[in-house]
A and B are shown apart, each in its own frame.
Chain A
């Protein structure tokens, strides 16, 4: 061994690490302690996640059990009201038709329910956190590294504690997806509010606006385009994470992809993958067009 080290003494050859036994004890101690805590509070954890479980199931049933043409029409109506763009509606209907024709409708509905819940939670949590972050530099200093960890930590890694705490199933899946998808929501809310024109804020101050009036009357409306970009990113990341979350028992398209990987089912893998891409594009175009419509006032040049 030492030969590969230009004959240097061992201390300089191999990075001095803690002895293996210490590392093993540490590992076991933390894991066991963590499991113990989880076991001790399992009832409370169950109770806390029950509303989420109920919400998920209800929405999934609603999506899956409703006749396909109603959902089909509903999605197109939502897309129309968000974008007011016939091209996007047409593209969406083609995407949905593709999904249905290849027999992926039901799995897609399961995934859609999952992504909807995860995105809603990400927005509900992310928006106030982003606002807090924009209001205090200290908060920003604390939260930025946390968000960095959330975004760079391989998603498989935090599936582990999520599974330890919540077990296998939809709820841990949604929680993992939210953790993965919430950072852009927080970051872009923060950025959007911080980028609001200082002069306009000063004008609000000069007219005696209190912090609440400033937030709702000036900061949020003016940062809405950026916040909408955050929502868009959150949806995209949630869709990407749904595949990974299938490893902890989330059904839908992700599960099919996972099976395809395990069995080398080339066609199934791609069809399910494309189905995900199709909903991703529908969501993306609709939410972006909606975001653009929100800033209509700033686009109109004077004539």
Chain B
């Protein structure tokens, strides 16, 4: 076992370990790996050698039982990266380790078995089978595994009900709305009972309200199922909502990996700072992050949980018309305090990020 994880609450399960992954597109990608590894840039490779650098030197650990979000804009390589995990795309160099096995080294038959039993995938455009009913679509993964319908149908029915589509079993996908179709996509993936759930921009094609709805469905399911989910998105808000861990991909390279708070509070570079600017910080930052040391003497009467987000705390404090509150941990033990000013300062986007450019201009003009 290469990656018997140290994470105790998920037991001895293996995460996914991506190591030194390179993907070059073109006629003879193998010829250029070494040059790229030695530092040849994307532009040089493209202009001089007519090869496209899809992914470069990706090192990423996707922890078991957690939602890892890979975020990037179109062309960043995020869809390419997720397809490496189940071998739909093979890398030019590198390893993808799961349970001590390297996906890259599997032969066709091993890869098929791996896909059948260890992974399931949800697609941006749903990719349902139009000639199969909702029930038959949900059975698809089990059909492929050779499971008899008498066994697979009850399983499928259970998941159809779980995603809120009970009663639609005999409808064809074309008779359903986009949100409902993606619920079928989710049910189909869950029916596979695989540990790894790959979601390729699964909610990007949905209306904002339905998207929020599906995010909630996913979070509810995950609270119960604890699967190893890899979620691809181009939407930072979605990434922050869902991700236990977020990796930001740009031009085929990882720019920053961390929790949502880490990324919002300490963006690694200008590019990420630009993204973070538009984020509703009050919904991301938690009390524990900005808590001040406990004051001498009497503690404020109002208690807030360390894991509460600032927006919630601010609302409660405003309602109660108090200016300070005690932050308590899960065991109700005081660990610090917050006041209105600190909360407000943390919630508004800091000037250095928000108006950095303007200020520079003003300074230089003066």
Q: Is the CB of A199 within 8 A of B144?
A: no
Mostly, the B contact residues are mixed
Q: What is the CB-to-nearest-CB distance from A213 to chain B, in angstroms, rounded to a whole number?
A: 6
The complex places the Cα of A202 from the Cα of B131 at a distance, in Å, of: 16
Interface residues of A in 209-233 (CB under 8 A from B): 209-210, 213, 217-218, 221-222
State whether A208 touches B116 (Cβ < 8 A): yes
> Is B130 among interface residues, defined by CB-CB distance under 8 A?
yes
Smallest CB-CB separation from A198: which chain B residue?
B127
B residues in contact with A222, CB < 8 Å: 129-131
The reply to whether B144 and A203 contact each other, CB–CB distance below 8 Å, is no
Are B174 and A208 in contact (CB-based, < 8 A)? no
On whether the beta carbons of B112 and A200 are closer than 8 Å, the reply is: no
- B174 close to A301 (CB less than 8 A): yes
Contact with A along B102-146 (1 / 0, CB 8 A): 000000000111111101110101011111000000001101110
Is the pair A300, B140 in contact by a Cβ cutoff of 8 Å? no
Does A14 lie at the interface of the complex (its beta carbon under 8 Å from any beta carbon of B)? no
Q: If the complex has contacts A200-B129, A202-B88, are A207 and B175 also in contact, measured as CB distance less than 8 A?
A: no
Q: Select from chain B the residue with minimum beta-carbon distance to A214.
A: B144
Please provide the chain B residues from 170 to 224 with a CB less than 8 Å away from any CB of chain A in the complex: 172, 174-177, 192, 198
Name A205's closest neighbour in chain B (CB-CB).
B88
A207 near B123 (CB under 8 angstroms)? no
**A141 CB within 8 Å of chain B:** no
Contact A206 B119 (CB under 8 A): yes
Contact of B113 among A200, A205, A208 (CB under 8 A): A208
- Are A218 and B129 within 8 A (Cβ)? yes
A207 & B174 in contact (Cβ 8 Å cutoff): no
Cβ of A303 within 8 Å of any chain B Cβ, yes or no, is: yes
In the complex, A218 Cα to B132 Cα: how many Å?
A: 10
Residue B86 is within 8 A (CB to CB) of chain A in the complex = yes
Q: Contact flags (1/0) for A129-149 with B, using CB distance below 8 Å?
A: 000000000000000000000
CB-CB nearest in chain A for B192: A207
> In the complex, how many angstroms separate the beta carbon of B121 from the nearest chain A beta carbon?
4
Chain B neighbourhood of A199, CB < 8 A: 123, 125, 127
Q: Are B121 and A203 in contact (CB under 8 A)?
A: yes
Most A CB within 10 A of own CB, among B112, B129, B141:
B129
Q: Could you list 12 A-B pairs, sorted by A, with CB under 8 Å?
A: A199-B123, A203-B127, A205-B115, A207-B144, A208-B116, A209-B112, A209-B144, A217-B144, A297-B130, A300-B172, A302-B174, A302-B177
The residues of B with any CB-CB pair to A shorter than 8 Å are 86, 88, 111-117, 119-121, 123, 125, 127-131, 140-141, 143-145, 172, 174-177, 192, 198
